[in-house]
Structure 1
Amino acid sequence: MTDQRSQKDKMLAGELYVAEGPEIAADNARASAWMERYNAARCESAADRLALLREIMGAVGDGVNIRPPFFVDYGYNIRLGAGVFLNFNCVILDVVQVTIGDGTQIGAGVQILTADHPRDPKLRAQGLELGRPVSIGRNVWIGSGALILPGVSIGDDALIGAGSVVTRDAPAGATAVGNPARLR
């Protein structure tokens, strides 16, 4: 039996998919046009930027502030709690869900990545990829330049050091620093 689901359906399910097809292309074009508008809104009020965020994101709590420039794959897989702050030049590759809890603060140049690739070279050669969700709790601080890799969960009140590469989960209240990030 042949799988009749679209590549987008497979992507959203976190399964192997090929990042092409009309649905994925349309969603990416929509996100690209939105980023042009959002990133041009640097001088707009926080309220105006919040309204723009709500146009594309899956959920946006009150008081969210993301300083442009800001980059996403699609936007609709991102859920932001109240009072979330992202500084300049952050990237969220949201091929599957990214959740960021209330009051979390994220430094400049942080990358949150859900896009992943098979370890098997034969699958990679077929152009297959997959997504693994990222979950960041409430009141987390992520220092500038950190990389949050696919499938990572960070618990409430955790601290991620600047420049850290987070390859594994960090429990609530933990401090993780370094490359790869280690718990302190």
Structure 2
Amino acid sequence: MTRSKVTRFMTEMDKAAAGLLYDANYDPHILEQRRAAKRLLHELNGLHPDDEARRDDLLKRLLGKTGERLVVEWGFYCDYGFNIEVGENFYANVNLVILDGAKVVIGSNCFIAPNVGIYTAGHPLDSERRNMGLEYAHPITIGDDVWIGAGVSILPGARIGSGTVVAAGSVVRGEIPDGVICGGNPTRVIRAILPEDGLRYR
């Protein structure tokens, strides 16, 4: 069976999961999945700050997987929610945006500063396909014990290793190793995080 015949039997979300171009703007099933997420996000972002139990419940309904302890501050936006998995002790500051056409897997003990964007989605370079509403999505993985600074953009297919710190304003693409400080556009490794880095706080 040819590839074109195979793709005819795939749903649009199957295509997205496979990294193929998929109809993100006109497919009825895709649109309803996004509307379902928007309903939960509308309630979540409008909650009173004291209503922590309801906030936890909505987050756990929205996201594909969570730990017991997670804090996501006001102003959280995503496409679907079910493609997002976070580990234990997850903290995200205000205005986190996750475009989760593909899986976004974030480990335990991760801290995300304000105004961070995590984007699995991309668009064709040629305007003909782009104007047809087609896009692609590549998964993003963030390891354990990662700190992502303010205003960071994480691009489709990025992988950030455990124990790494991403400096504010960085644009992350490709693979970042474990245990380093990285920054810039595009992000590059600045140096390893050393045992003596912990001494300054003692």
Give TM-score, length-normalised by structure 2. 0.85
The aligned counterpart of 2:176 is 170
Residue type of the partner of 1:113? Y
The aligned counterpart of 1:102 is 108
The aligned counterpart of 2:96 is 90
Deviates most, 7-16 or 32-41: 7-16
Query: Conserved in 2, the CA contact under 8 Å of 1:115 and 1:131?
Result: yes
Distance 1:142 1:8 in 2: 28
In structure 1, which of residues 150, 155, 179 is the aligned counterpart of residue 156 of structure 2? Answer: 150
Question: Cα RMSD between the aligned structures?
Answer: 1.5
1:91 aligned counterpart, secondary structure:
strand
Report the CA distance between 1:46 and its aligned residue.
3.6
The aligned counterpart of 2:9 is 4
Deviates most, 48-57 or 22-31: 48-57
Distance 2:42 2:133 in 1: 28
| 1:17 and 2:44 matched | no
The aligned counterpart of 2:195 is none
Deviates most, 170-179 or 42-51: 42-51
The aligned counterpart of 2:34 is 28
Alignment coverage as a number of residue pairs: 184
Distance 2:138 2:34 in 1: 19
Deviates most, 103-112 or 4-13: 4-13
Report the CA distance between 1:118 and its aligned residue.
2.8
Residue type of the partner of 1:27? Q
Query: Conserved in 2, the CA contact under 8 Å of 1:7 and 1:17?
Result: yes
Residue type of the partner of 1:9? D
Alignment of 1:27-176 (within 5 A): 27-176=33-182
Q: Unaligned stretches of 5+ in structure 2?
A: 191-202
Deviations 1:33-83 (A, max 9, x none): 111011012513444322111111110111111001100000000001000
Distance 2:114 2:165 in 1: 15
Report the CA distance between 1:12 and its aligned residue.
2.8
Q: Unaligned stretches of 5+ in structure 1?
A: none
Moved over 6 A (4+): none
Deviations 1:114-171 (A, max 9, x none): 0012345554344321100000000100001100001000000000001111122111
Residue type of the partner of 2:110? T
Distance 1:89 1:122 in 2: 32
Distance 1:144 1:22 in 2: 35
Report the CA distance between 1:9 and its aligned residue.
2.3
1:14 aligned counterpart, secondary structure:
coil
1:60 aligned counterpart, secondary structure:
coil
More helix per residue: 1 or 2? Answer: 2
2:30 aligned counterpart, secondary structure:
helix
Residue type of the partner of 2:22? Y
